[in-house]
Structure 1
Amino acid sequence: MTPNAASASSAPSRRSFLASTAVATAAVAGGMPLLAACGGSDSGSRDGTTSGKDAKKLLPAYVAGNVVTPDIAARNGSAVGFTGKLDLATLKTSVPKKLGKGGKVSIMSPFWGSPPKADNAYYTAMNDLIGVDVVWQNQDGNTYDQKLGAVLASSDVPDVVVVPGWNMTGKIPSAIIAKFADLGPYLSGDAVKQYPNLAAIPTDAWQRSLFGGKLRGLPMPSSYVTSIVPFYRKDVFDKEGYQVPTSADEFHALAKEITNAKAKRWACLDMKWTAFNMFGVLSGDEKSLGWNLVDGKLVNRIETQEYLEALEWTRKLFAEELVHPDAKLGKSQATDPAPKFVAGEFLIYNQDISQWYGQAAAQATQNPDFRIWGMDIPGHAGGNPTLWAKNPAGIFAFVNKKASESVIRDVLAVANVTAAPYGTKEYMLTNYGVEGTHYTVKDGLPVKTDQGNIDVLNAFVMVASPAATIAHPDLPEVAKGQVEWQQRMGAFTRKSPFYGMQITEPARWTNLANDFEQLEDDIVRGRKKIGDMQQAVSDWKSKGGDQLRDWYRKLLDDNGSAAN
């Protein structure tokens, strides 16, 4: 049972996000590289962001839910955790009466897989529970950006449009401001209390839903703690007596100890993402998170010594052939690491935290000795790391500006059900469908049927979600491990000045840093040198980086920092 798995981060590809959440589970916790947030562009709409006193006027009041008590409370930015089995016969009710008024609402959303029939039993049951006739316009998630652009450029916009953060590029941010409604009159301040499950969404996630000075988005919250976990084969470590490294040098020494090419065993895959965390490099999760105030000056992550040191450390692992050959060819993030990780061809890799459960569940019956676990991220010199927060929401649903009040109220009725917490009847239906049709109960756990895997996929969960949740009653030790890992890493996580803000850079600088990720990969694989990066940073500064710095500095001076 895998409800809102913790989300993906800057580093994982869109593919890993989809495989680990929206498709592989019934719910998604969001959080992806938000390549551009919102506020406007060089011309036509509002640049910048909304924070401080202006934001407080717009944000919904926070009222913690009390319908269900998690087994592990959120701490240091972690998800809440559930480890115990649910008594499905006594699930709590978080929406005691239908809030929908029977209207019809069209929703366009990305969908990965084959969309089910429009009148399937899941959609019918959800519509009946909510009191709204939701008509889905599911679009291929892999080409969603093209469809999104075309729809928003037209006059025929559905009542609701879901926009993942990674699609907020080009003219999309401006279109969001131009095409979508201000939900403030319905949700700001105490108004949200009509929708208790929405009121229980963390304030940080609502802050991310401010676009163009208005509350426009319904968010999918996520933990702000990095979701890039250095996974390792704990069963092999225990057998061989390997110790989890507590510094970058210890990691390197361990990698040499593990690697035996003749025996087809290497230490790891590409560990660049973990290196960035070990060396305290600012987040690459979104452009705005890459800036920090150092001695009164805004500095970008690519200008820091830590950035170069992390690349050099990763390059050394490749140069000494301690990395699996697949990664040398650039395959480490593009293909499924599971088969060769399970086979023991490498013992360490880094990926989204959701793979912790995914790998463990896949091997639970056929390979009971297999044990995947997450390493704590050490500081590169030993001691505690300096980690940087990612943003607390990454997918949003928007309501057409032309929608009537009755349609908006019906949309909020939908969102109030889909944001129901784990352990409620509403959550169970949203994420698992109808018992007997979409799932059966085995050993006290819901198990999806074939029909459930067809019907109950990424639809209703895209409208709004509860606070980040990790729940695996079938593998409680994994759920506990994931949440406690987030809590420990959260204790060392700092928020950079633009944390939680929706920001769009002026269009003339949009593509300024496009080539850096490829250059990073070329450097760590030995195809380019550190000097090439230093030259690229110099070019970046002269081609607009310094001007962009001034633009961000004015934004900070005008709005203040959202971090606390």
Structure 2
Amino acid sequence: MTPNATPVSAAPSRRRFLASTAVAAAAVAGGMPLLTACGGGGGEGRKEGTTSGKEAKKILPTYVASNVVAPDIPAKNGSAAGFVEPIDLKNLKTAVPEKLGKGSKLKVMAPFWGTPPSNGNPYYRAMNEAIGVQVTWQNQDGNTYDEKLGAVLASSDIPDVVVVPGWNLNGKIPSAINAKFADLGEFLSGDKVKEYPNLAAVPTDAWQRSIFGGRLRAIPMPASYVTDIAPLYRKDIFDKEGYQPPASAADFLSWAKEATNARAEVWACDDMKWTAFTVFGVLPGSDKALWWNLVDGKLVNRVETEEYLEALEWTRKLYAAGVVHPDAKAGGNQGNAGNRFTAGQVLVYSQNISDLWGKTAEQRTHNKEFEMGAMDIWGHDGGDPTLWAVQPANIFTFVSKKASKEQIRDFLAIANYCASPYGTKEYMLTVFGVEGTDYTVKDGVPTKTPQGINEVNGAFDYTGDPAAYIAHPDLPEIARQQVEWQQRMGAFTKKSTFYGLTVTEPSRWATLADDFEQLEDDVVRGRKKIADVQRAVSDWKKQGGDDLRGWYQKLLDDNGSAS
């Protein structure tokens, strides 16, 4: 990542969270098995199910759109909003006119990738002073955060505030959330949220995802529901060679054979499984609840569909044709695909669209000709694609049940401050830090210093976010490209039956589908056959899949759909 741009809110730290690690990006994209989320339908102690319909309406905050700053590109078709004009640093708007914090001391635990800064650095001090709180950060290694999180939640010593990524909601963590974290509904449900205007502007879909155990327990990170995985391609090389982006699955394979030149160490693509799932209209793999959809009156799981098998077969053909970089066959860190891409060894790879900014900013410092783009997702047969919405929030921040009301209110003061929209004084401090220390301004563009890169990262921006937006002051054309791609893809996006719900599956079935991802990878690489997937699906049904279907059906009958 480079320090020169405002990060994509859908790729956080919170705002850069997903782009900061291949693990996180893979999780959100469906490249990793997730034992999804939490929820509960009703009573305080309920550990399974979800809450929607009339019950959810009693819990959810009232939505009041923000009018502090108007985006240059309004959100459409589920996209993020876009900001492409320079920030008017001399006329920044104010989103929090009065200091809401009352001086509480709060310990906040959050994941961090890299070397965390010391508490008491200029950024932390400035944020504490601006909000009126005394926060001490307990940053933990993001690569092993699930282990630390599980240990902490199993103990009696819970920090005042805890950040929980959605991909860590597995094992006993969901039930621990219901037992250990406070109900924020007393402070936020209905019109109560209006005391915190920036939180009132958080979309209702994101709040719906924050209902755990029948209670509003978390501050969510809002995100676009449009798929964030795109086939990214080397536009500069395509233009030079006269290639056109393919328009069908067969077209892609034909082009890939033409473009691959193994002697010259150029391959058409890296692993394309994630793109295959979208091209063939497969239900999302990022959240277990989204694996199900009601079709002709019956709930169908993604692994039972013909589209799922067709996507795997097409990806297998790419490997068999020798058009996939040989290093991809071994699997491993998806981040290596990006390196192969920038080196020109791979012309197309599947990744979060945040890489449009990250890779472009990285390469333009030394390769002025580098240009990449995001292909529109095509239907496998050349027609319009069928795309499925991903969840509108997947990172959450909770408050301990042991926290006092004063501490909870001061935490909400932090969240409200950090959810200030782009182009405000509060936003600049939250995202860029202290001018002259954490960032400087050149030609109207705020640019982080080395100190700012380390300090203004993975801290206060975890605790609150505005509605999804994309803005890159140094590369506004990339922000426009990302938003417009989302808007085009959003036009073909549907919401499946359990979209927007946070569901806790019964623990007896929690690991039922864990082997499918490895099986997928083995099939596309030629180590297993499609018939092996069909046998695995049959076994899955017998071993609990059909029972789980019945459980989800009852959940739907009792609660209704949120979509």
Bin of the TM-score, shorter chain as denominator length: over 0.9
1:436 & 1:290 partners in 2: Cα distance? 48
Query: Which residue in the other structure is 1:405 paired with?
Result: 405
Displaced runs of 4 or more, over 2 A:
1-4, 6-9, 14-23, 30-35, 43-46, 333-340
Query: Which residue in the other structure is 2:48 paired with?
Result: 47
Task: Tell me if structure 2 keeps the 8 A contact 1:7–1:352.
Answer: no
- Offset of residue 87 of structure 1: 2.1
Does 1:3 find its partner at 2:6? Answer: yes
Does 1:157 find its partner at 2:158? Answer: yes
Query: Which residue in the other structure is 2:20 paired with?
Result: 18
- Offset of residue 237 of structure 1: 1.0
Listed one character per residue, the Cα deviations across residues 314-334 of structure 1 (whole Å, up to 9, x for unaligned) are: 000100101111112224x53
Task: Tell me if structure 1 keeps the 8 A contact 2:415–2:463.
Answer: yes
Structure 2 letter corresponding to 1:548:
L
Structure 2 letter corresponding to 1:111:
F
Task: Tell me if structure 1 keeps the 8 A contact 2:280–2:311.
Answer: yes
Structure 1 pair 472/21, CA: closer, same or farther in 2 (3 Å)? farther
1:490 & 1:298 partners in 2: Cα distance? 24
Listed one character per residue, the Cα deviations across residues 298-339 of structure 1 (whole Å, up to 9, x for unaligned) are: 1100000000000000000100101111112224x5343333
Listed one character per residue, the Cα deviations across residues 90-119 of structure 1 (whole Å, up to 9, x for unaligned) are: 211100110001111111111111111111
2:331 & 2:486 partners in 1: Cα distance? 29
Q: TM-score, normalised by structure 2?
A: 0.95
Matches within 5 A, 1:325-336: 325-331=326-332, 333-336=333-336
Matches within 5 A, 1:472-491: 472-491=472-491
Matches within 5 A, 1:71-470: 71-331=72-332, 333-470=333-470
- Offset of residue 89 of structure 1: 2.1
Structure 2 letter corresponding to 1:477:
E
The secondary structure found in structure 2 opposite 1:106 is strand
2:58 & 2:67 partners in 1: Cα distance? 25
- Offset of residue 31 of structure 1: 8.3
Does 1:556 find its partner at 2:559? Answer: no
Structure 2 letter corresponding to 1:5:
V
2:325 & 2:212 partners in 1: Cα distance? 44
Root-mean-square deviation over aligned CA pairs: 2.1
Task: Tell me if structure 2 keeps the 8 A contact 1:67–1:92.
Answer: yes
- Offset of residue 372 of structure 1: 0.5
Residue segments in structure 2 that go unaligned for 5+ positions in a row: none
Greater mean deviation of Cα atoms: 470-479 or 280-289? 470-479
2:541 & 2:22 partners in 1: Cα distance? 37
Listed one character per residue, the Cα deviations across residues 446-491 of structure 1 (whole Å, up to 9, x for unaligned) are: 1111111221110111112111111012111111000000000011
1:363 & 1:453 partners in 2: Cα distance? 18
Task: Tell me if structure 2 keeps the 8 A contact 1:47–1:504.
Answer: yes
Task: Tell me if structure 1 keeps the 8 A contact 2:29–2:274.
Answer: no
- Offset of residue 406 of structure 1: 0.9
The secondary structure found in structure 2 opposite 1:38 is coil
Listed one character per residue, the Cα deviations across residues 225-277 of structure 1 (whole Å, up to 9, x for unaligned) are: 10101001111111111111111111111111111112221110011111110
Task: Tell me if structure 2 keeps the 8 A contact 1:31–1:391.
Answer: no
Over the matched positions of the two proteins, sequence identity in percent amounts to: 66
The secondary structure found in structure 2 opposite 1:488 is helix
The secondary structure found in structure 1 opposite 2:178 is helix
Task: Tell me if structure 1 keeps the 8 A contact 2:22–2:334.
Answer: no
Listed one character per residue, the Cα deviations across residues 123-155 of structure 1 (whole Å, up to 9, x for unaligned) are: 000000000111111111111112211221222
- Offset of residue 44 of structure 1: 6.6
Give the number of aligned pairs. 552
Greater mean deviation of Cα atoms: 116-125 or 342-351? 342-351
Query: Which residue in the other structure is 1:27 paired with?
Result: none
Q: TM-score, normalised by structure 1?
A: 0.95
The secondary structure found in structure 2 opposite 1:336 is helix
Structure 1 letter corresponding to 2:507:
A
1:289 & 1:353 partners in 2: Cα distance? 21
Listed one character per residue, the Cα deviations across residues 498-521 of structure 1 (whole Å, up to 9, x for unaligned) are: 111110110110000011001000
1:363 & 1:76 partners in 2: Cα distance? 31
The secondary structure found in structure 2 opposite 1:5 is coil
The secondary structure found in structure 2 opposite 1:337 is helix
Listed one character per residue, the Cα deviations across residues 163-186 of structure 1 (whole Å, up to 9, x for unaligned) are: 111111111111111111111111
Residue segments in structure 1 that go unaligned for 5+ positions in a row: 24-29
Structure 2 letter corresponding to 1:234:
K
The secondary structure found in structure 2 opposite 1:371 is coil
